[in-house]
């Protein structure tokens, strides 16, 4: 998610990373705007954040999970043609905000893939197995317990980190929080002894500018980093492994944004190399940065390219780097759009001749 909500799939071990649906035509570009090849059917209220689940047995049967952010919200499930799989949609979720996906958590001794979303109005994490979308959480797992004030428990961002040893952690953000380096809370995920998920708090970390909020969170499993958008300030980088401490490793993407820094996705091109895509929400653009840094500074993420997409006011996004079907031969980039849909882009259209 991730690489998941970072969009890559290192957690699975088999790929290193993490209206009416229709085609936008053969031309990927209209002027300087990159067109999606597929636009999903509409959600009911307010599309917000997508995550891509890869079907290892048959990648063409992979799924896109998207949040519908409302009091009577839902997790929508789409196929690669953008059609809603109605039998898999999970409804009656109280304002689901962001969603992430991870692979192979041991429950009842068996590896389980799952989607996790932040349920803002109940202050719970909600977990559902993939691909059948069955609940794994006994109705929800509370987080940010003991914090005073609704805004300090009003959940937003979520990303799952899978360590080289196979431990899995949920890294969670909220609508508001302290500036002292404890905005994000990290929970280790495990079996509760009854085949469901439990979450154990292991650390609090993350600086905050105080300018707006922190929503988008992405994890690079292979390199062991977590990135998050401090909106209207920039992107911050930390170690994802709690044992490595809470030192801030870098700040980047601090200039050239029209409005909010939003969705973060990570595309792998080779071991340790690739791109970090950050949504410039107000401009309908994504700024693309170097994943691997430079020879002198591995945490220096230089700007490589800016692309304009058809999706409006994009918030969340996700990307995978493997061939899925005849349409997505080199990877899939999914972007939320403010017309209640999600847009599917071919990776080669985003990369162009520059990347």
Q: What is the pLDDT of residues 87-139, one digit of tens each?
A: 999 999 999 999 999 999 999 999 999 999 999 999 999 999 999 999 999 99
> Phi/psi at 86 (nearest 5 deg)?
-60, -35
Q: What is the pLDDT of residue 31?
A: 54
Do 215 and 229 contact (CB within 8 A), yes or no? yes
Nearest to 228 by CA among 190, 186, 187, 256: 186
pLDDT at 201 over 60: yes
pLDDT at 8 over 90: no
pLDDT at 58 over 60: yes
pLDDT at 54 over 90: yes
Q: What is the pLDDT of residue 149?
A: 81
Half-sphere exposure of 131 (CA within 13 A, CB side): 18
**pLDDT category of residue 151 using cuts at 50, 70 and 90:** confident
> For all residues of the chain together, what is the average pLDDT?
92
**pLDDT category of residue 10 using cuts at 50, 70 and 90:** very low
d(CA 112, CA 103): 6
Biggest CA–CA distance in the chain, Å, is 56
CATH (residue range 10-351):
2.120.10.30
**pLDDT category of residue 197 using cuts at 50, 70 and 90:** very high
Residues 258-282: what's their mean pLDDT? 96
Residue partners of 225: CB distance under 8 A and separation at least 6 = 219, 237, 238, 239, 240, 249
Residue partners of 352: CB distance under 8 A and separation at least 6 = 305, 307
Above pLDDT 90, what percent of the chain? 89
């Amino acid at each position: 998610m991730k690489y998941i909500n970072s969009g890559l799939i290192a957690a699975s071990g088999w790929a290193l990373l993490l209206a009416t649906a229709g085609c936008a035509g053969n031309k990927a570009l209209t002027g300087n705007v990159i067109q999606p090849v597929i636009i999903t059917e509409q959600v009911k209220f307010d599309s917000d954040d997508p995550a891509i689940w890869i079907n290892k047995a048959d990648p063409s049967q992979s799924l896109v999970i998207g949040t519908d952010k409302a009091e009577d919200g839902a997790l929508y499930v789409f196929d690669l043609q953008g059609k809603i799989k109605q039998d898999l949609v999970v409804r009656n979720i109280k304002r689901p905000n962001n969603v992430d996906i991870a692979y192979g958590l041991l429950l009842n001794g068996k590896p389980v893939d799952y989607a996790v979303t932040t349920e803002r109005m109940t202050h719970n994490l909600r977990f559902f197995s993939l691909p059948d979308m069955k609940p794994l959480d006994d109705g929800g797992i509370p987080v940010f317990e003991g914090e005073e004030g609704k805004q300090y428990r009003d959940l937003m961002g979520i990303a799952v980190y899978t360590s080289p040893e196979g431990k899995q952690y949920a890294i969670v953000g909220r609508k508001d929080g302290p500036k002292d380096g404890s905005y994000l809370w990290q929970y280790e995920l495990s079996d509760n002894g009854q085949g469901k998920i439990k979450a154990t708090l292991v650390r609090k970390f993350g600086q905050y500018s105080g300018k707006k909020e922190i929503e988008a969170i992405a994890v690079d499993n292979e390199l062991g980093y977590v990135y998050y958008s401090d909106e209207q300030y920039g992107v911050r980088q930390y170690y994802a492994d709690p044992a490595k401490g809470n030192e801030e490793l870098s700040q980047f993407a601090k200039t050239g944004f029209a409005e909010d820094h939003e969705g973060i996705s990570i595309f792998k091109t080779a071991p340790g190399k690739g791109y970090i895509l950050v949504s410039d929400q107000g401009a309908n653009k994504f700024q693309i940065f170097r994943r691997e840094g430079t020879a002198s500074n591995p945490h220096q993420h230089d700007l490589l390219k800016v692309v304009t997409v058809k999706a409006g006011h994009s918030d969340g996004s996700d990307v995978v780097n493997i061939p899925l079907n005849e349409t997505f031969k080199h990877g899939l980039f999914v972007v939320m759009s403010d017309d209640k849909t999600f847009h599917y882009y071919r990776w080669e259209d985003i990369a162009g001749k520059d990347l």
